[in-house]
Amino acid sequence: MTISAMDALTLDRCLQEQQQLAKTVANAWLVSSSEDLRWPGVALQGARPAPGLDLMRRYMDLVLYSAVEDLQITQEYLGVLGMVNAPLSLARPWTVARVFWSALKRTVRRLSVHEHEPSFALSAKALKQLHALPPMCYEQVS
């Protein structure tokens, strides 16, 4: 029985470490897997997408569009990609306000000149158009 009790204590420590490991990698998994699920043919196996995933994707689209025009949003976004900041840092009130302000300005600009904006910067259609372009030749500088 003593060995069984020692085994149970060891197993408990291992499970606590596993839980800490899961917390450590959760942000990286959230960022990468939520974007992976955006592409056709990519699906979860044995799990359902997190509630609100579509809303999160739409907000991230707005963040990306806003990052093109707003250096502070760019820095926040790159902080998340570089794992310096948690993904929730993009939901800070001032960041959300800047993102929505940028989206509003872009919408007004688009409506005033009647131009169409794609729903996502790297959509399958946009990637197909990029792949259809002739290859670029780069010279190696020595």
Q: What's the pLDDT score for residue 92?
A: 94
> How much is the pTM?
0.62
Q: Tell me the residue range of the domain where 7 lies.
A: 2-40+50-118
Q: What's the pLDDT score for residue 3?
A: 87
User: Is position 124 within any domain?
Assistant: no
The pLDDT profile of the chain, 142 residues, written as one tens digit per residue, is 788 888 888 888 888 888 888 777 777 777 777 777 777 777 777 777 778 888 888 898 899 889 888 889 999 999 988 888 888 899 999 999 999 999 999 888 888 876 665 555 555 666 676 667 676 555 555 5
User: Is position 19 within any domain?
Assistant: yes
User: Is position 136 within any domain?
Assistant: no
pLDDT in tens, 30-71: 777 777 777 777 777 777 777 888 888 889 889 988 988 888
CA distance 42 to 27: 20
Number of domains in the chain: 1
Q: What's the pLDDT score for residue 84?
A: 87
User: Is position 92 within any domain?
Assistant: yes
User: Is position 55 within any domain?
Assistant: yes
User: Is position 127 within any domain?
Assistant: no
Query: What are the C-alpha distances in Å from 83 to residues 75, 77, 97?
Result: 12, 10, 22
Residue burial 28-39, b: 16+ Cβ < 10 Å; e: rest: eebbeebeeebe
User: Is position 59 within any domain?
Assistant: yes
User: Is position 28 within any domain?
Assistant: yes
Q: What's the pLDDT score for residue 141?
A: 53
